[in-house]
Structure 1
């Protein structure tokens, strides 16, 4: 069960814009890519060892994003992701591996497998300079920054 859950989380997390932005802007720390991979491993273990509702998964994702990356997702991405994960968990608990593979293949393929890419640490001062010159990256998902946390807002 953990092997297929790992593939499911890998596909979902590689497509999750809020997590990618939190890692790119190093909201978790200079090793935020490692933290994201640890979160993925934790969620695989958490979901495989517990009987969970979608709300439980969403609560865990919200808490992790807040605690590890100082990020609050107001775009309902944690709700959407938790519903998808819950659907897969139900299929796996019913031992319906064929349907699970079909559903996994229907998930969008990530444009890049950024979770497996090495992260090059960049000092905070240089990061702020590059942020002002790359406004096109932040236009996809509007973000408000505060000294404590980041809010990812819903697209309009």
Structure 2
């Protein structure tokens, strides 16, 4: 069972790096990137220490962590979606379905650089070059299009109530 923990941690990192609520909490200085990284390890431990967890229990742990560590309430269904994904991969690991786990892992969205960037200096310099080469009118058009196409998620600070 423990030999699957490193793989499961990689799964958690990929899932969490694509979780908009967590990303927004970090971007809005509700918690650090390091705290988000620790969240991945924490959830891996929770799933491996506790037997027979169901998605609602995992969602409760996720919700508590977001509240305690990021001072954030998540008002969409993303917590249950993250819980279900974590549980699904945990079951693959516990059942020894290595081939299914790897196949399903490849279907997940790629690891996002905000959580773990492999070469941060390269990505920063390429963004700077991209920004310098575009005119301010193009930047405004891009921002306008992004606002029109992006779905939004409400992430609130519990202490501000």
Match of 1:55 in 2: 56
Classify the secondary structure of the residue corresponding to 2:11: helix
Match of 2:108 in 1: 107
Deviations 1:57-88 (A, max 9, x none): 10100000011111111111010111111111
Greater Rg, structure 1 or structure 2? Answer: 2
Classify the secondary structure of the residue corresponding to 1:72: strand
Structure 2 residue ranges without an equivalent (≥5): 121-142
Q: In structure 2, what is the Cα distance between the partners aligned to 1:91 and 1:114?
A: 27
Match of 1:143 in 2: 154
Deviations 1:118-143 (A, max 9, x none): 7xxxxxxxxxxxxxxx8967x64243
Give every structure 1 segment of 4 or more consecutive aligned residues whose post-TM-superposition deviation is greater than 3 Å. Answer: 134-137, 142-147
Classify the secondary structure of the residue corresponding to 2:76: coil
Deviations 1:16-58 (A, max 9, x none): 0000000011112xxx111111111111111122221111110
Match of 2:40 in 1: 40
- Whether contact under 8 Å (1:72, 1:149) holds in the other structure is no
Q: Does 1:2 align with 2:5?
A: yes
TM-score (norm 1): 0.74
Q: Does 1:27 align with 2:38?
A: no
Q: In structure 1, what is the Cα distance between the partners aligned to 2:11 and 2:101?
A: 9
User: Deviation at 1:144?
Assistant: 6.2
Q: In structure 2, what is the Cα distance between the partners aligned to 1:5 and 1:41?
A: 9
Q: Does 1:96 align with 2:97?
A: yes
The higher-RCO structure (CA 8 Å, 6+ apart) is 2
Q: In structure 2, what is the Cα distance between the partners aligned to 1:62 and 1:83?
A: 13
User: Deviation at 1:108?
Assistant: 1.6
Between Structure 1 and Structure 2, which shows a larger proportion of helix residues? 2
Q: In structure 1, what is the Cα distance between the partners aligned to 2:10 and 2:42?
A: 14
- Give the total of aligned pairs: 130
Match of 2:84 in 1: 83
- Whether contact under 8 Å (1:71, 1:149) holds in the other structure is no
